[in-house]
Amino acid sequence: MQQIAQLTIVVRDYDEAIEFYTEKLGFRLLEDTKTSETKRWVRVVPPGSTCALLLAKAATPEQESSIGNQSGGRVFLFLHIDDFDQYYTRLQSHGIVFEGEPREEEYGKVVVFADLYGNKWDLVEPRVNSSDRS
Protein backbone atom coordinates (compact mmCIF):
# COMPACT_ATOMS: atom_id res chain seq x y z
CA MET A 1 0.00 0.00 0.00
CA GLN A 2 1.10 3.57 -0.69
CA GLN A 3 -0.52 6.80 0.42
CA ILE A 4 0.35 10.43 0.76
CA ALA A 5 0.62 11.06 4.50
CA GLN A 6 0.96 14.83 4.48
CA LEU A 7 1.65 17.86 2.32
CA THR A 8 3.59 20.97 3.28
CA ILE A 9 2.10 24.45 3.06
CA VAL A 10 4.59 27.27 3.53
CA VAL A 11 3.12 29.85 5.92
CA ARG A 12 4.09 33.27 7.24
CA ASP A 13 3.26 32.56 10.88
CA TYR A 14 2.41 29.35 12.72
CA ASP A 15 -0.28 30.77 14.99
CA GLU A 16 -2.20 32.68 12.29
CA ALA A 17 -2.12 29.56 10.08
CA ILE A 18 -3.36 27.33 12.92
CA GLU A 19 -6.18 29.78 13.63
CA PHE A 20 -7.21 29.90 9.98
CA TYR A 21 -7.20 26.15 9.38
CA THR A 22 -8.82 25.17 12.68
CA GLU A 23 -11.28 28.01 13.30
CA LYS A 24 -12.26 29.01 9.77
CA LEU A 25 -11.93 25.72 7.87
CA GLY A 26 -12.77 23.48 10.84
CA PHE A 27 -9.66 21.31 10.57
CA ARG A 28 -8.29 19.49 13.62
CA LEU A 29 -4.89 20.36 15.08
CA LEU A 30 -2.99 17.07 15.20
CA GLU A 31 0.33 18.32 16.51
CA ASP A 32 2.16 21.48 17.48
CA THR A 33 5.64 20.59 18.70
CA LYS A 34 8.47 23.06 19.18
CA THR A 35 11.60 21.65 17.50
CA SER A 36 13.91 24.67 17.95
CA GLU A 37 13.77 28.32 18.94
CA THR A 38 12.33 29.22 15.51
CA LYS A 39 10.77 26.00 14.22
CA ARG A 40 7.66 24.00 15.10
CA TRP A 41 6.20 20.78 13.72
CA VAL A 42 2.56 21.77 13.11
CA ARG A 43 0.05 19.44 11.46
CA VAL A 44 -3.66 19.96 10.78
CA VAL A 45 -6.17 17.65 9.14
CA PRO A 46 -9.72 17.95 7.79
CA PRO A 47 -12.25 15.82 9.69
CA GLY A 48 -12.27 12.28 8.31
CA SER A 49 -9.07 12.68 6.28
CA THR A 50 -5.88 10.69 6.68
CA CYS A 51 -3.72 13.20 4.76
CA ALA A 52 -2.47 16.01 7.01
CA LEU A 53 -1.15 19.44 6.12
CA LEU A 54 2.23 20.35 7.60
CA LEU A 55 2.26 24.09 8.25
CA ALA A 56 5.88 25.12 7.69
CA LYS A 57 6.98 28.66 8.51
CA ALA A 58 9.07 30.21 5.75
CA ALA A 59 12.71 30.40 6.82
CA THR A 60 14.37 31.96 3.75
CA PRO A 61 13.50 34.67 1.22
CA GLU A 62 12.96 31.96 -1.41
CA GLN A 63 10.46 30.18 0.84
CA GLU A 64 8.76 33.49 1.67
CA SER A 65 8.24 34.11 -2.05
CA SER A 66 6.22 30.90 -2.34
CA ILE A 67 3.73 31.82 0.39
CA GLY A 68 0.32 31.97 -1.26
CA ASN A 69 1.60 30.76 -4.60
CA GLN A 70 2.57 27.17 -3.96
CA SER A 71 1.22 25.99 -7.31
CA GLY A 72 2.03 28.91 -9.58
CA GLY A 73 -1.49 30.37 -9.46
CA ARG A 74 -3.35 27.13 -10.19
CA VAL A 75 -5.67 25.35 -7.78
CA PHE A 76 -3.35 23.75 -5.24
CA LEU A 77 -5.55 21.54 -3.05
CA PHE A 78 -8.92 19.84 -3.40
CA LEU A 79 -11.19 19.61 -0.37
CA HIS A 80 -13.97 17.05 -0.79
CA ILE A 81 -17.00 17.44 1.46
CA ASP A 82 -20.31 15.67 1.83
CA ASP A 83 -22.56 18.73 2.44
CA PHE A 84 -21.51 21.51 0.09
CA ASP A 85 -24.19 24.05 1.02
CA GLN A 86 -23.59 23.79 4.77
CA TYR A 87 -19.81 24.06 4.47
CA TYR A 88 -20.00 26.84 1.87
CA THR A 89 -22.20 28.84 4.25
CA ARG A 90 -19.73 28.22 7.07
CA LEU A 91 -16.85 29.50 4.96
CA GLN A 92 -18.83 32.58 3.90
CA SER A 93 -19.57 33.36 7.56
CA HIS A 94 -15.82 33.26 8.27
CA GLY A 95 -15.00 35.69 5.45
CA ILE A 96 -13.42 33.18 3.07
CA VAL A 97 -12.80 34.67 -0.38
CA PHE A 98 -14.34 32.75 -3.30
CA GLU A 99 -13.59 32.99 -7.01
CA GLY A 100 -17.00 33.05 -8.60
CA GLU A 101 -20.14 31.24 -7.60
CA PRO A 102 -20.61 27.53 -6.93
CA ARG A 103 -21.28 25.57 -10.10
CA GLU A 104 -22.34 22.09 -11.12
CA GLU A 105 -19.80 20.07 -13.05
CA GLU A 106 -20.01 16.48 -14.30
CA TYR A 107 -18.00 15.39 -11.23
CA GLY A 108 -19.99 17.39 -8.66
CA LYS A 109 -20.62 20.80 -7.14
CA VAL A 110 -17.51 23.02 -6.96
CA VAL A 111 -16.21 26.48 -6.14
CA VAL A 112 -12.69 27.86 -5.84
CA PHE A 113 -11.65 29.61 -2.64
CA ALA A 114 -8.42 31.11 -1.34
CA ASP A 115 -6.76 30.36 1.96
CA LEU A 116 -5.40 33.16 4.15
CA TYR A 117 -2.30 33.46 1.97
CA GLY A 118 -4.00 33.21 -1.42
CA ASN A 119 -3.39 29.54 -2.26
CA LYS A 120 -6.32 28.32 -4.36
CA TRP A 121 -8.45 25.39 -3.26
CA ASP A 122 -11.31 23.57 -4.98
CA LEU A 123 -14.19 22.93 -2.62
CA VAL A 124 -15.95 19.89 -4.10
CA GLU A 125 -18.98 17.82 -3.22
CA PRO A 126 -18.38 14.85 -5.53
CA ARG A 127 -21.31 13.53 -7.47
CA VAL A 128 -22.19 10.01 -6.36
CA ASN A 129 -20.65 7.44 -8.73
CA SER A 130 -18.61 10.08 -10.56
CA SER A 131 -15.02 9.64 -11.57
CA ASP A 132 -12.62 11.82 -9.59
CA ARG A 133 -11.45 14.46 -12.06
CA SER A 134 -10.42 17.00 -9.49
pLDDT tens across the length of the chain (134 residues): 999 999 999 999 999 999 999 999 999 999 999 999 999 999 999 999 999 999 999 999 999 999 999 999 999 999 999 999 999 999 999 999 999 999 999 999 999 999 999 999 999 999 986 555 55
124 with 78: CB under 8 angstroms?
yes
CA dist., res. 37 & res. 98, Å (int): 36
Strands 120-126 and 75-80: parallel
Q: What does the pLDDT read at residue 11?
A: 98
- Helices (H), strands (E): how many in the chain? 3, 8
Q: Is domain 1-66 annotated with CATH 3.30.565.10?
A: no
Q: What is the pTM of this model?
A: 0.91
18 with 31: CB under 8 angstroms?
no
Q: What does the pLDDT read at residue 79?
A: 97
CA dist., res. 91 & res. 87, Å (int): 6
Where do the structural domains in the chain lie, given as residue ranges? 1-66, 68-134
Name the class of domain 68-134: alpha beta
